Amino acid sequence: MGQPVERASGNASGAGAKGAPSGAGQPELPPGQRLQRGWPVTHYGPVPKFRPERWEFRVFGATADGAKHCWTHEEFTALPYTTVVADLHCVTKYSMLGAEWGGIPARTILDIAPPAPDVTHVMVWAEYGFSSNLRLSDFTAEGTLFATHKDGELLTAEHGFPLRLVVPHLYAWKGPKWVRGVEYMTADRRGFWEERGYHNIGDPWKEQRYSYQEEPGDGPEL
């Protein structure tokens, strides 16, 4: 497609998208992870039916202009497209390395619909009311992408078509499938899995899987 390719680091210490080689010449994985061949389907609930005439992407909450911003599917997919080579680390302990994700950078949404100056977090909303909270710094990080494609092909419905969020440096649950919008927040609020015992931040390199591992300041009280 001729779009720029970014290489996102999935490692807080600066490893590349395919993992840093270990001393044995194997790619380094976050602690407790195993290398996965192929891409398992993992999600909670049914796969939603895509209805393009009803689909819209919304940005709302504490926007800079106080307004809600909406795009149809046609309008959203016409936004500037890029590709990012990045790993995916699932909290169920598998890692898929070096995938090429194509879509719209999260930073593009922030440029078009900027948040108010006091925004610190976002809530990413998906079908069926599913949600995932992120620090604004994670949402704006290099490689965070609203993906429509993987390895040059449209996502399948089971893997999140028409839109999923990819946040390479966090566990994959922090990037929901079937995304429908972003809420800007001036204080943190837990999302779906974060309310149900999963870590509020979800850094795989620190093995932040569960809420009982949280340190003071990692998130709001359960």
Whether CATH 1.10.150.120 fits 53-213? no
Give the pLDDT confidence score for residue 216 in this predicted structure.
96
Give dist(CA 190, CA 211) in Å, integer: 11
**Mean pLDDT split into 10-residue runs, the chain, 222 residues:** 42 39 64 86 83 97 98 98 96 95 98 98 96 98 97 96 98 97 98 97 97 96 89
The burial class, CB within 10 Å (0-12 / 13-18 / 19+), for 88 is: buried
The 8-class DSSP code of residue 124 comes to E
Give the pLDDT confidence score for residue 28 in this predicted structure.
86
The domain locations on the chain are 53-213
Give one word for 102, left, alpha or beta, with left for phi > 0 and alpha for psi -120 to 50: beta
Give the pLDDT confidence score for residue 13 in this predicted structure.
31
Give the pLDDT confidence score for residue 100 in this predicted structure.
97
CA 32 vs CA 72, 95, 175, 204: distances in Å: 40, 10, 20, 9
Whole-prediction pTM? 0.88
Give the pLDDT confidence score for residue 19 in this predicted structure.
52
